[in-house]
Amino acid sequence: MRLGGPLFGDVSTPELWIAELQKKEYRAAYCPVGADADEATVQAYRNAAQAADIVIAEVGAWSNPISPDPAIRSAAITHCQNQLALADRIRARCCVNIAGSRGQQWDGPHPVNLTDETFDLIVETVQIIIDAVRPKHTFYALETMPWIFPDSPESYRRLIQAIDRPTFAVHLDPANLINCPSRYYENAHLIRECFRLLGPHIKSCHAKDIHLQSHMTVHLDEVRPGLGGMDYAVFLREVERLDPITPIMLEHLPNEHEYDLAAMYVRGISATLTQSQ
């Protein structure tokens, strides 16, 4: 397992980037450059990562390629293709996006998000993205979400089968799958099912947590790892069974101090698991 997260210092050169990663004791990283970077710059960061034994976990392609607005959909597909090409150039583990949404909010719920029609549209869209790039060194992946496919390990497996591309893979965010009380209280079983059904396809993971509020009606809040109900011992134990360079990336915290606390928590759970073996 490789832990990583956002950086807050100067990363404008490969040397400074590696120094910031080492200061945080991260062994995985988000992609440090954009798709407009020239080949020499991409190669310099790629070489620096390799020399320092840093895994570039993912290139984000955050956009809505299934938008009902044709202009937004077209621009998003192009963006995903460009980001996938960047991931291939820099040798990232994957290029990741969510599937999108059929509503105006690119990452929001919508009445038709979980229909067969939308499932088929996601399949077609991912095929278009992958077939335009044909990556050789990376994978395209969809982050699990609470209200769009893939919203369960079973629906992710269906997508893998339907998309039918060897360079389509899994980006696992188990907190995003916890969308009701039963999943909240039984999240250890949910996590195990994710790894049982999807394990060989998982290229990168996000590390966050979720807390079920006690006031009506059901309300779930994303929180820092360790402040919610997610079973991190099960999560990390399952990750440890994968490729040892599998990244777990911290995200969505408000400041550097919160990231330091999150990293401390994840490392503490990992150390406890190691001692118990």
* pLDDT tens-place string over residues 100-135: 999 999 999 999 999 999 999 999 999 999 999 999
pLDDT at 21 over 80: yes
Residue 8 DSSP one-character state: -
Task: Give Cβ neighbours of residue 119 (< 8 Å, ≥ 6 apart).
Answer: 149, 155, 158, 159, 162
Neighbours of 220 (CB within 10 A): 19
pLDDT at 263 over 80: yes
Backbone angles phi, psi at 221, to 5 degrees: -115, 135
The rounded distance, in Å, linking the Cα atoms of 199 and 30 is: 21
Q: Which residue has the tokens 């049982």?
A: 196
CA dihedral 29, 32, 34, 39 (to 10 degrees): -110
pLDDT at 234 over 80: yes
The rounded distance, in Å, linking the Cα atoms of 99 and 176 is: 13
Closest among 196, 94, 80, 190 to 146, alpha carbons compared: 190
pLDDT at 233 over 80: yes
pLDDT at 231 over 90: yes
